[in-house]
Structures are given as structure tokens and as C-alpha cells.
Amino acid sequence: MTKKKIDVKHQSKDEARNQRYNQYVNAVTPQTGTAKSLFHSFLVGGLICLIGEILFNLIRALFPAMSEIMAGHLMVMVLIVAAIFLTGLGIYDVMARKGGAGMFLPISGFANAMASASMEHKSEGLIMGTSVKLFSVVGPVLVNGIVWSSLAGLIRLLLP
């Protein structure tokens, strides 16, 4: 009985200390952390888009016969292949730690999620590991993309 009372006393003491500590943490870290990570994502994300645009212009200059739509497809394909090879070499994940959303929001992050999931489960075999887990991260994107875009197509059919 007395022991319990002591515990409760300790607990309230701990809580008060935790609260003070949390206040201290909130006061010191978030602002700088938020601003810094926002700036990093902006910088990295903008840079990847810039690489995409330069690549697109390069493709347009190299293959003048190619239509603009196909050049856009080729640009995305090059970015995907580059991101997957960087993932294989272990470089992409190192950069992703700094870049945050700047590294996963562009299409290269989509490719990285696929490749890293399939590599991580290689030890479980090519069928039950790699092939099954390939979509474990990007699955929601594909499922929602197909469902909602099909819906968009069907709605457009109803309109004159």
C-alpha cells in the first residue's frame, strides 16, 4: 500500500519533469529543424525537376523527329533508370536522408521505393521475396491511381 503511494508520488514527479523536458525540446528544436528540412526538400526537389527539364530539352535536341509526348516519356524513363541504379549502389538512400520529401515526391522516389523494397526482400527468394514485395510501398500509389483515374475517365464519358 505504502509502496504504491510512493510510486504515484514518483510518477507525478516524473510527469512534471517530462513536461518540462518536452517544453524545453519544443522550444529549442522544431523551428530550426522545420525550416532546414523544408529548405532541403525545396532544394533537392527543385534540382531533380531541373535535371528532368534539362534532360527533356536535351532529348528534344538529340531526336528532333520524336514527338513531345514521347520525349516526355523518355525523360521519365531515364530518371527512373538512374534512380534505380543509384538505389542499387546505395547512393539514393543516403541522399534521401537529407532531401526528405524532395527525394521521394519526384518520380525518382517512386522508382527508389520499388527497387529498395525488391532488394530488401531478395533473401526470401526471387518469387516470394522480390516479386511479391516489389509493390509493397508503391502499391497504394498504383491502386489509387488506377481507381481514381478510371473514375475520371468514366465521369468524362457522362459529360457531353
Touching other proteins, residues 75-104 (CB under 8 A):
75-77, 79-81, 84-85, 87-90, 93, 100-102, 104
Touching other proteins, residues 107-126 (CB under 8 A):
107-111, 114-116, 118-120, 122, 126
For position 71 contacting other proteins by CB under 8 A, the verdict is no
For position 141 contacting other proteins by CB under 8 A, the verdict is yes
For position 59 contacting other proteins by CB under 8 A, the verdict is no
* Residue the block writes with cell 532529348: 59
For position 157 contacting other proteins by CB under 8 A, the verdict is yes
By residue count, the chain amounts to: 160
Which residue among 12, 19, 22, 34 contacts other proteins (CB under 8 A)?
A: 34
Please give the angle made by the CA atoms of 23, 102 and 57, to the nearest 5 degrees: 160
For the chain, give the longest Cα–Cα distance: 87
Q: Could you tell me the three cell numbers for 3?
A: 509502496
The candidate with the shortest Cα–Cα distance to 29, out of 21, 41, 39, 17, is 21
16 or 143: CB nearest other proteins: 143
